Amino acid sequence: MRRLVLILCLLVTPVFMAAPVFAVQPDEILDDPVLEQRARELSRGLRCLVCRNESIDESHAELARDLRLLVRERLVAGDSDAAAMEFIVNRYGEYVLLKPTTRGANMLLWIAGPVMLLLGAGISVIYLRRRRPQVPEDLSMAEQARLDEILKG
């Protein structure tokens, strides 16, 4: 019986752990389901400034709650999704976006990774080519035979 319970716990636990956990409190939810859905979509794209790698929809931090309420206030006030996001980005900076834009100074950050990878690959190729053992071309027949014997092992 214990084994059965243990097996059941091991099978069921990953299912619950993989489910998304939202930190949205019942008092934050809007009465209009369309506005609430828009707020949830916007919240998924905003970073919690305390947790850093969580969206404000998943974070339990007080600042994330304030941002969720701010998003809902902007939507209730009649802002479009773009206007609400622009308001929040203007207030908190572009760091608040989980997926930063590819304009301006961010373009340098988007390009830096691939450029560094190519640069590293190029340096590696040059280094390995220079390390290649240099075999003298003017070996006698006896020296060449001895070299072949050594290389064959």
Give yes or no: residues 119 and 58 share one domain: no
Residues 24 and 92 in one domain: yes
18 — pLDDT class (breaks 50, 70, 90)? very low
Phi and psi angles of residue 152, each rounded to the nearest 5 degrees, phi first: -75, -20
Q: What is the DSSP string of 73-130?
A: HHHHTT--HHHHHHHHHHHH-GGGBSS--SSTHHHHHHHHHHHHHHHHHHHHHHHHHH
User: Rounded to the nearest 5 degrees, what angle is found at the Cα of 130, between the Cα atoms of 124 and 134?
Assistant: 145
Number of alpha carbons in the 13 Å side-chain half-sphere of residue 147: 12
Residue 56 near residue 97, CB atoms below 8 Å: no
Question: CA–CA separation, 26 vs 23, rounded Å?
Answer: 9
pTM flag (> 0.75) = no
Same domain, residue pair 59 and 40: yes
- Domain of 108, in residue numbers: 101-133
Residue 120 pLDDT greater than 90, yes or no: yes
- Per-residue pLDDT at 130: 86
Domain count, the chain: 2
